[in-house]
Amino acid sequence: MTSAFSWIAADETAEQALVRIYKKRPFLIFPPPFHRLPLRAGNVVEIVGPSPSAKTLILIQAAINCILPKEWKGVSYGGLERAVLFIDLDCRFDVSSISRALQRRIIDANGLRRSSLKGNGNEYDKELFVSSMRRFLYTRCYNSFEFLATLKTLHHRIQQEKGGSAVYMLLIDSIGAFYWMDRALPTSSTGNNNNRKSLSLQTVVETVVQEIQRLLVAHPMLVLATKSAAFGDKQSITEVIRKRPDEKMPDPRDAQNKPHRCFMPSVWQSFVSHRMLLRALDGESKHQNRPTFSTEWLLPPLNCSDHFTVNDVWICSVRIASIFFIANLIVSSFAAGLSLDPQMKCRRKCSAVTKR
C-alpha cells in the first residue's frame, strides 16, 4: 500500500495539492451526448440499457479517450495517456470494434477527410495506434468464480503496469452477465454450520463489491460497468392497450412511467455512484434509417435526455437538450463530487491504521 501512503504528501499548500490532484487524477468528460457530468477516479458509473443499445460502444469510446495521449506530433487528441482494464463478462467483445474506432478517431483528429483518403486506403499514424492499443488490457471470464479470481489477482497485475499509477479505468462489460447462473447456484442443504458462506448470488455480489472497493482504495480508478435492463416486461401487455398506431411517440417524460427493473442485489445498487439509462426510441424517430437511442442520467438525476444514433463504430448525437438544465447539472455534479472524494476515504483509512 505504499502508493496509497505516498499520495498524502505532508507539507504542501491547498493550491499545490489541488494542482497535483488534477494532474494525477484528472476529470474525464465524454464526447456528446454523454458530456453532462465530469467523472473522475473513485466514481462508479453504471450504464443501464436494453440490448442492443450501444452500451459497449460507450465503453469503447471512453477507453479510447483514456488511452490516447494528450498530444502527439503536434496534433492534439485530448486523451489521458493512461491504461484501461477491460473485464469482459459477456464474452462478446470483438477487438475490431475498438481498433476501427481508434483508427477513425486518429484520422479525424488529424483533420484529414475520410473521403479524400480513398486512394490511399486508411493512412494514419501506426506508431500512435500501436502505443495506444498497448494501453488497452483485456481479459474475459466465463463464470462468477473466474471473475472473482480475476479481481483478487488484479492488484498484483496493476502493480506490474509501471508501478500501478498508470491504470485509470476499469471497464466491466455487463455486470449482470452471470445473474441467472448465480441464482441457480446450489445452496448447501447442510445448514449453516462451521460458519461457511453459502454460495449464492448475494454472497458473490457482496464479494465482488468488496474486492472492487479494496482495489479502488489502493488504485483509484474510474469504474464503468454496463448492465442490460429489462424494461417492465410483465407490464407490457397492459401498455399495449394504451398505445394506438395513430398516436404520436409518447413524451419522453412518459417513458419514466416504465421504470427499469434493477435486478442486481442492493449491495451493488448502493455501491454505484452514477447511473446512466439508455433507451431505444420507437420507429418514428429513426434518423437516416438507423435506430435512435436516448440517454438520461438517473443518478444524479438530471431532467433532460439526449438522443443519439450509431453509425458503425461511431456515435453521432442527434439532439442535445437545452441549456436550461445546466444549473441543475452544476449543483448535482458538485454534490456528487463532494460526497465521493477518494482522498478523504483514503485519509480516514490511513489515520485509522496509524492510530492502531
Partner 1 sequence: MAPLEDLERDYPIIDSNFRMFCASHGIFTDTDFLLHDLSALEAFARQDYAPDKLEQGIKQMISIIESGQRPWLNGVELLEDSQLNKCTLSTGCEGIDILLQGGLREGHVTELVGPSCSARNSLGKVVYFDTGNSFSPKRVAQFLSLLSDPSATQTNKAVERDMSSIVCHSVFDIFTLLDMLRQLMNNLRSQISFQVRMLIIDSLSSLIAPVLGGGGAHGHALMATAGFLLKEIAHESNLCVVVTNHMVAGEAGMLKPALGESWKSIPHVRLLLSGKYSATGTRITILKHPYLASGKSADFVVL
Site for partner 1 in 23-42 (CB under 8 A): none
Q: Candidates 221, 281, 313, 346: give the one binding partner 1 (CB under 8 A).
A: 313
Beta carbon of residue 204, minimum distance to partner 1 (angstroms, whole number): 7
Phi, psi (deg, nearest 5) at residue 181: -70, -35
The crossing angle, in degrees rounded to 10, of helices 144-152 and 201-218 is: 20
Cell 477487438 -> residue: 95
Q: Candidates 197, 242, 348, 349: give the one binding partner 1 (CB under 8 A).
A: 197
Please list every residue from 132 through 191 that binds partner 1, using CB under 8 A.
132-143, 145-146, 148-150, 152-153, 156-157, 174, 177-178, 180-181, 183-184
Q: What is the CA radius of gyration of the chain?
A: 22
Q: Determine if residue 43 is left, alpha or beta; phi over 0 gives left, psi from -120 to 50 gives alpha, anything else beta.
A: beta
- Which CB, 70 or 134, lies closer to partner 1? 134
Beta carbon of residue 118, minimum distance to partner 1 (angstroms, whole number): 17
- Which CB, 134 or 348, lies closer to partner 1? 134
Please list every residue from 54 through 83 that binds partner 1, using CB under 8 A.
56
Q: Candidates 291, 320, 347, 350: give the one binding partner 1 (CB under 8 A).
A: 291
- Which CB, 109 or 313, lies closer to partner 1? 313
The crossing angle, in degrees rounded to 10, of helices 55-67 and 95-109 is: 50
Tell me the sheet residues that pair with 173.
88
Please list every residue from 228 through 247 that binds partner 1, using CB under 8 A.
228, 230, 233, 236-237, 239-240, 243, 245
Please list every residue from 315 through 344 that binds partner 1, using CB under 8 A.
none
Task: Please report whether residue 124 would count as binding partner 1 according to CB under 8 A.
Answer: no
- Which CB, 27 or 263, lies closer to partner 1? 263
CB neighbours of 99 closer than 8 A, spacing ≥ 6? 129, 133
Phi, psi (deg, nearest 5) at residue 88: -95, 105
CA-wise closest residue to 58 among 69, 43, 46, 40 = 46
Torsion of CA 70, 73, 76, 77, to 10 degrees: -60
- Which CB, 170 or 302, lies closer to partner 1? 170
Q: Candidates 24, 70, 162, 196: give the one binding partner 1 (CB under 8 A).
A: 196
